[in-house]
Structure 1
Amino acid sequence: MADLVTAPVLELQAGDRVHERNDEWQPHPFSTDEIYIYTVESVERINEDSVLVGIVGGDIPSGINYGPQDTVRREMR
């Protein structure tokens, strides 16, 4: 398994790989595994309460909403 660091959502960069535990965040229907891993495509602050992290993969653009104070576990660069 990759070495992980905790990082603020707003510090994510395109190409970062994020690991989310399903017991903390329910990504269904994306994954039924214990850990959901996604690759960041973009990070956009929508407003003072919302950050949209675009994810790579699939034919339809997808994104995950976070708060600006949220942190994630990402692979070390």
Structure 2
Amino acid sequence: MKKILVVCPICNKSKRIIVPESIFKLEEGSLLKLVIKKNQICQHEFGLLLDFHFSIRDYEINEEELNRIKQVKPKEEDLTIFDIMF
């Protein structure tokens, strides 16, 4: 068993999860996509790509989560990209 630290790409909450080493019985260089369901790490659902060495290569946010994020409006005191650029 290997423990990997998973960080939510949306809210940055983190948690260690246990992954069985037997999950990789393929040749070296393969990637595995894991889906992290809501409430396993935080309130978001996302995917991650895990390599043969149990390193997280990338995170993936599904379309439903992206739509929920877009609906959240920034507070007045929050900076926008336009505040920084101009």
TM-score of the two chains, using structure 1 as the length reference: 0.33
Which is greater in Rg? 2
Which has the larger strand fraction?
1
- Higher RCO (C-alpha under 8 Å, 6+ residues apart): 1
Which has the larger helix fraction?
2
